[in-house]
Structure 1
Amino acid sequence: MNRFHPSEDDLHAYLDGQLDADRRQAVEAYLAANPEVAAQVEGWRKDAQQLRAALALPRQAPNPRLDPVAIRASLRVRKQRRFALAASFLLALGAGGLGGWQARDMSLLAANPPMQDALQAHRLFAASPTVDIQVHRSGELQAWLDQRFSHAARIPDLTPYGFTPVGGRWLVTEQGAAALLVFEDGQGQRVSLYLRAPSTLYPSMKKGQRRDGGLEARYWSRDGYNYALVSQDGDPRGEVLGKALSF
């Protein structure tokens, strides 16, 4: 008899509490028998909580509605409502209606600047000694990345620019898996490359850059993924590295 082996979608659904009882028990049995996978799933849970806490402004007392599972469920409901509102809008299109809808989308974009999660992931994890893989050559990092992102762009050798690969860490977003790739120069300064599936607000991003709290993010979309290179604000190597990474 074939042993049950949960897919990544099963594991994410397990984290979100979206599995039926039989499926949940099967996943729990698998995790109990595979402590390495269980530790990775627990890491996803903690990463999601840390990212959500870092993105929550202003800081507030613990609130059940800020729990990652509740937030994901709320986002799904909001997405469904947006589709319903869009349908109603098409049926009741009138003078001034289009302008109001555009204003609403502009407000959402202003409240959620592009690749904010990349900046927060860099702050939280780029300097952390805990990574899912420690590497010394760019080829190792590429092989690790290809496990989750089959169409990811090739990672160039950054040693001519003074940076060597340190490691990578899997993260979780509302769209699924994300990856943080960390590089370091001879003085210990680090930059990170972050990628994930496109979000609802940013299905495809034009090349751009912005500054936030001492960091600078250069972001773009390519081959179905959103990317961001995060470096220290004002570091002239950021532009060179961005070009090397097809920014």
Structure 2
Amino acid sequence: MITMPPSERDMHAYVDGQLSPIDRQTMEIYLASNPDLAREISDWQLDAQNLRAGVSGALRLPMNPELDPSVIRQRLRGRRHRHLATAAGLVIAIGVGGLGGWQARDVSLASRTLPMADAVQAYRMFATNDTMASDWNTAKPTNVQGWLDKNIAQASRLPNLESVGFKPVSGRLSTTEQGAAAMVVYKDTEGRVLSFYIRPQIDGNRVLQRGSRRDGELQADYWSEGGYNYAMIGPADDPAAKAARLTL
């Protein structure tokens, strides 16, 4: 089982296709909430593809440890770090004005990150997949609120959607760079699915204003409260899902 945050060894195993299906899904949820790391992993994958294409005609030669993808990635990463160190020195030399420019760039990049992208990704991967193992379900002796309170300290109470026909049926824990996260899946008698996702705020000073956004066929309604970000995810155009949103 991989660790969270993932180690460099875990990331190499992901790029090389050596993780188990569950660990791979956990990694993909983590990457969805860490876009900078996701871009770096994507670069690694491209490096690996180019390497395989470049050496495809020499596969019968004796194995050369210097051509191992993980060794090459580590070497490239070391070069990038040296380039970053050089760039950092130049920024210091430029002075406060240059530093302010870099800070503005960071804020601009952060502002382009879609709110609660990991919640939408978790819905697509787990909420509608009845074969996935859950950390809580209706067969457990503890009710869902007790399970959530045990694992996510001081989170808000789960929404009660029984008035619109939805009841909690399963729960799953995951992890983010900021700490534990959880998703509770609701279903109605027609089999329609909603999910309620909780995660720590990425930055204590970056509060999500209550809002919503559409992502393909799904809608995410999100807000912040008490140091956590929350999202209700469900079909954007389904009348039952729309009724559930009105209860939030």
On whether the aligned pair clears a TM of 0.5, the verdict is yes
> Deviation digits for residues 149-205 of structure 1, max 9, x if unmatched?
121111243111110111100112222211010001121110000001111498321
Q: CA RMSD in A?
A: 4.1
Question: Deviation at 1:61?
Answer: 5.6
Q: Distance in 2 between matches of 1:136 and 1:164?
A: 14
User: Residues 203, 135 of structure 1: CA spacing in aligned structure 2 closer, same or farther, 3 A cutoff?
Assistant: farther
1:232 aligns with 2:235: yes
CA distance in 2, matches of 1:51, 1:103: 26
| Other-structure match for 1:49 | 27
Question: Scaled by the length of structure 1, what TM-score is found?
Answer: 0.62
Q: How far apart, CA to CA, are the structure 2 residues paired with 1:114 and 1:53?
A: 14
Partners in 1 of 2:100 and 2:46 — Cα distance?
A: 38
2:66 equivalent in structure 1:
none
For residues 1-247 of structure 1, the aligned pairs below 5 Å read 16=7, 45-52=23-30, 92-94=95-97, 98=100, 101-110=103-112, 112-129=113-130, 130-135=133-138, 140-200=143-203, 203-245=206-248
Residue 196 of structure 1 aligns to a residue whose secondary structure is strand
Contact 1:15 1:45 (8 Å CA) reproduced = no
Q: In structure 2, what residue type is equivalent to 1:48?
A: T
Task: Indicate the percent of aligned positions where both proteins have the same amino acid.
Answer: 32
CA distance in 2: counterparts of 1:166 and 1:43, whole angstroms: 23
Tell me, in whole angstroms, the C-alpha distance in 1 between the residues paired with 2:137 and 2:171.
Answer: 7
The amino acid across from 1:101 in the alignment is: Q
Cα offsets for 1:109-156 (capped at 9, x unmatched): 21x21100000000000012221111279x811000011112111124
Q: CA deviation at 1:212?
A: 0.7
Kindly state the Cα deviation for residue 223 of structure 1 after the two structures are TM-superposed: 1.0
Shift of 1:50: 3.5
Cα 1:146/1:116, change in 2 over 3 Å: same
State the distance in 1 between where 2:167 and 2:247 align.
14
Q: CA deviation at 1:108?
A: 3.1
CA contact (8 A) 1:178 1:195 kept: yes
Q: Deviations over 1:40-93 (max 9, x none)?
A: xx997444223257785779569689xxxx9xxx9xxx9xx9xxx7xx78x933
Q: Secondary structure at the match of 1:147?
A: helix
Gaps of 5+ in 2: 10-19, 49-68
Number of residues of Structure 1 aligned to a counterpart in Structure 2:
193
Residue deviations 1:9-54 (CA, integer Å, cap 9, x gap): xx95696489xxxxxxxxxxxxxxxxxxxxxxx9974442232577
TM-score normalized by the length of structure 2: 0.62
* Stretches of structure 1 lacking an aligned partner (at least 5 in a row): 1-10, 19-41
Rg: which structure is higher?
2
Three-state SS of the structure 2 residue aligned to 1:203 is coil
Tell me: CA distance 1:174–1:131, structure 2 relative to 1, closer, same or farther (3 Å).
Answer: same
